[in-house]
Amino acid sequence: MKVQVLGCSGGIGVGEFTTCVRINEDILLDAGTGLGCLTQSELTQLRHVFISHSHLDHVCLLPMLIDNQFELLKSPINVYGVSQVLESLHQHIFNWKIWPDFTQLPSVDAPVMAFTTLNSKESFKLGDLSFTPFDVEHVVPTTGYAVVSEGGRLFVFTSDTTLNEGLIKTLNQMGPIHSLMIECAMPNRMQDLAIASKHMTPTMLNELLICLEAMPERILVSHIKPYYVDEVEAELMSLNLNAELIVLSSGQFFFL
């Protein structure tokens, strides 16, 4: 399984793109501004989009993707998420005001976009891969995704989350994690804001990792607010983790 990080930043700016991860050629986790890095032929290959939550930095290019493919599609692009997330997209974006309701175009019987509701902790098979949404604590209903590769390795994408007992328990129940892509939006001095906005700091990430029964082989840190990258990176490096820690940047890819 190829995991390509198209966007992993907590904001925009030169060389910074928001959350979007491509799995192999045809699957996305979230559809932030990183999606705009793909070529037309790469966009054309996309068939499945798993959405973690309705925040704009994670969904802003989904409407553009469907629009881009409108003339080309012979079958719908499948958009997956738990019910509250899909309802928010339908109500607040694909509502004919912000953007057309592509679940009804060009016709209700043969639309260009189809929503598939997933249930938390129930795995969804896509070819040789499986995708399992799991609840995390953020300011809106949010799920991460546990993705099992063709070879049985586990890639976990937490999306936006804060630290709580539930996250520790959920990650421990998954068994050995090969690669954990987790957010760390703010530096330690902003812990109060991180807690209020339900994000993570390096200290909170460390507290989480200490509580894991098995350390993931790789910790892939994402969603740092652009203004704080140097500060967060320095705090992360001082943690001395017993794992490979990579502060992600757009364009990086991994094989699992």
Q: Where do contacts with Zn ion occur on this chain (CB under 5 A)?
A: 55, 57, 160
Nearer to Zn ion, 80 or 112 (CB): 80
Nearer to Zn ion, 34 or 76 (CB): 34
**DSSP secondary structure string, 106-149?**
S-SSS-SEEEEEE-TT--EEETTEEEEEEEE-SSS-EEEEEEE-
Q: How far is the CB of 30 from Zn ion (least distance, A)?
A: 8
Q: How far is the CB of 157 from Zn ion (least distance, A)?
A: 12
Tell which phi-psi region holds residue 24, choosing left (phi > 0), alpha (psi between -120 and 50) or beta.
Answer: left
Nearer to Zn ion, 73 or 93 (CB): 93
Q: How far is the CB of 102 from Zn ion (least distance, A)?
A: 23
Nearer to Zn ion, 57 or 235 (CB): 57
Nearer to Zn ion, 16 or 160 (CB): 160
Q: How far is the CB of 15 from Zn ion (least distance, A)?
A: 18
Q: How far is the CB of 87 from Zn ion (least distance, A)?
A: 17
Q: How far is the CB of 139 from Zn ion (least distance, A)?
A: 7
Q: Which of 137, 128, 179, 145 is nearest to 161 (CA)?
A: 137
Nearer to Zn ion, 48 or 55 (CB): 55
